[in-house]
Amino acid sequence: MPSHEIHAPDVYAILAGWARQSAGKTLAPTVENLLQQEASKSAAAFDQHSTLQIQLNQAGLSLQRLLQRRTVAAWQALHAPSPEFNSPPERCPACESLLTGEWSCSLCGLELLRWQSGQSLQQSLDSQGLTPWHYALLPDPRRKRLILLDLGSPAQAGQAPEVAWQINLSTEAVSARLLPGQEILLSTQAGDVMICDLFGNLLWRCELALKQPVFVDATRDGQQILIADAGRHKVLIVNRQQETIWSYGQADQPGRDRGFLRQPTCLRLTAEGTVLIADSGNHRVLEASQLSGQVRHQLAEKQQLEQPLWCERLPQGETLIVDAANYRLLNLNPEHQLNQVFTYYQNQLDIRYRLQQPQSIIRRENGNYLLANAERIIEISPSQQRLLWFSLLTDLRTPASFDQAQAREKTQSSTAKPLPKLSSTRLQSPFKLGDTLRQMTAFEDAPDAFFEKLKLCLRYEEHPAGKILLREGQKSDAMYLIREGEVEIIKDFQPVATLGPGEIFGEMALLNAEPRNATVRMKSSGRLYRLNKLAFESVVQAFPEVHEKVRQIARVRAQMGEQVSDAAPPAATPQSARERLEKMMQNHRERLEQLRKQPISPEHHQLLEGPLHWSLRYTGLEQKLIRQARQTNYRCLELHVRLRSDSAMKSVRVSLLVSNLEKYGDIIRIHPTPEDILREKVDDTVIMALLTRSSRSRILEEACALGDIQDVQAIPVYFGDSDQKSPD
């Protein structure tokens, strides 16, 4: 999250709100002056500190609270005007990357259609309500509080988010939504529906007879309240004058026939003037007309829903349904046909990630989902098919004392002892030497007997942190396999990439005695296997088919030569590289067009066991292309290439990089787009997806060989169960 400038009026507004809670709604002039003085001092103190201890015992006021910088930043975000766009902006408001005329950001996933101008004020808020970007409003019934979570950098790094704002309640809230004017609509386990301010002061209460209002929502203007009363088997829309505008279901009469519901858990007003109802007890989702009250559709009727707790209509016309009993998220296209199924929990995952009976489901501004019950919260990414982080609600709390706040601040700022990350959802498997060797393109079709003999030639070695294994510019005669620990690839005296257990480096030394493009150094102490060229040749000659394949690869590599140097390229090279970039993306478009002509069944995605930190948002066709490629022993690597900020002619550098990497596979996606690259609209970071049979270390080394490259990461991309079985 960017650093927020703290202003005294914002600090005063928070202090005044706290003071009114203890001293009454009206503050004496002397108290107001005291608070203004304290606000000015505090705003200045935030330049040096992230947490302040407020102690005021004057003028009849007793106020002792901790005030954190993130609390003031949250207040500023809550009071900032809601964005509205007539057309896509040039850059993403959340991450500053180029949008190139699209309504969604391919890098951070921000969906700007939510803030497109001209939307009806009479349709529902989306599940995030008016909560600002990177925040989420969550009820915590067991601790009788509402919390505003800061979903910025901590959650993005795989850690639990921070509590930016907390409202202590006298009752147990189960559903909450932020309304215009910084009002909060909430329902409670006691059967109340009410509106309060950011300090918990009651502003409005529904006087209608309710029993178990498990879900509340509102229209975009905040004037109509939507209530799903599971206890009375009824949904209704009311206004602030206590009038029922619309309802469906017979009070206290559960049923499945027309006009009846059984334990409804969600309702939404769509832009088309219809009402979506999650009729959980009847295992169905209905779409009814608000004018006639007649049911138009029963959605996902063929999908055997067991517990549809939540539903939402997207601006593009797609419908989302959470079937909690089956741990799945369904996506229906505008014609109500199944488009995608994403399973967010399977039995093989850690039991801590199983979230049953979610009470709060929030679709974030980037398309990710927050699911929470009374005990825990998770964030999942359907586009990347992974669980991002998990936390117990008891662990989401503000410091209880100033000493505790200072200790937390010191821990967070320490480079020696950073906050521990949450447990990875990737269950670490034991190192399998045979599987690792099979990653090499030259060995992909080799018989088992070949690998058994090759294993006998491997030399086991242990190395301390800092030891240099290979030096840039020197020739090597060995390949290495990492069993434990990490190594770093160094180019121009700067670390540019890291390799870990199960990965291979230096394999080209077995094919050609060529100088190294980069230095390889132990990042931590580790255990490796070393295979020298002489031993390898003695084994491979006993297997003619493998020997011939190795010779073919060596010949191709020799023909390639070293075509890219760190010096400025001649005048003809940039043009040819640009032409290759254009041709490459044209081939990609033609390949996707062929896939579009093939019948595509609904995608059934399951959550992968691992924090695979890729950034691009892959379309269904691109996912299909990646899965098909893996069936022929290709892997997909997402390359994050960071150019030096002072690099000149970045578009030329990127075009040359694309041209060089195309020798090792097919680039199917690139950010920014090729059109923007050719127009010199290139930031310091370029991201591309490469289908290749080469090892990750080889691709990293080749990418680092180009001048003006500061850092490169190569992240494996997986889609579907079959991909999980092929380790990288």
Strands in 151-273 per DSSP E: 162-168, 173-179, 183-188, 193-196, 202-205, 213-218, 224-229, 234-239, 244-248, 264-269
Residue 38: the pLDDT is: 93
Beta bridge partners of 637: 690, 716
- The model's pTM: 0.66
Beta bridge partners of 63: 56
State how far the Cα of 173 lies from the Cα of 196, in Å rounded to an integer: 12
State how far the Cα of 605 lies from the Cα of 625, in Å rounded to an integer: 15
CB 117 within 8 A of CB 83: no
Closest to 37 measured CA to CA, from 61, 65, 11: 11
Closest to 331 measured CA to CA, from 677, 46, 620: 620
Residue 91: the pLDDT is: 77
CB 331 within 8 A of CB 340: yes
Q: Is the pLDDT of residue 351 over 80?
A: no
- pLDDT tens figures, 629-649: 887 778 888 888 888 777 777
Q: What is the DSSP letter of 153?
A: H
Q: Is the pLDDT of residue 557 over 60?
A: no
Q: Is the pLDDT of residue 203 over 80?
A: yes
Ranges 14-23, 323-332, 539-548, 701-710: which has the least confidence: 701-710
Give whole-number Cα distances, 301 to 265, 317, 336, 601, 720, in Å: 18, 18, 10, 17, 25
State how far the Cα of 650 lies from the Cα of 660, in Å rounded to an integer: 15
Task: Locate 69 and state its tokens.
Answer: 């910088």
Q: Is the pLDDT of residue 313 over 80?
A: yes
The position carrying tokens 């498997």 is 429
Q: Is the pLDDT of residue 566 over 60?
A: no
- Count the Cβ atoms, other than its own, within 10 Å of residue 615: 18
Ranges 304-308, 343-347, 353-357, 675-679: which has the least confidence: 675-679
Backbone angles phi, psi at 638, to 5 degrees: -95, 115
State how far the Cα of 713 lies from the Cα of 697, in Å rounded to an integer: 10
The residues, any chain, with a CB within 8 Å of residue 575's CB and separated by 6 or more, are: none
Confidence band of 611 (pLDDT split at 50, 70, 90): very low
Q: What is the mean pLDDT of residues 542-555?
A: 76
State how far the Cα of 220 lies from the Cα of 217, in Å rounded to an integer: 10
pLDDT above 90: percentage of residues in the chain: 29
Closest to 298 measured CA to CA, from 283, 312, 310, 313: 283
What is the CB-side half-sphere exposure of residue 389 using CA atoms within 13 A?
Answer: 19
Task: Locate 319 and state its tokens.
Answer: 């419908």
- pLDDT tens figures, 73-129: 999 999 988 777 778 887 777 666 677 677 777 666 677 766 665 555 566 677 677
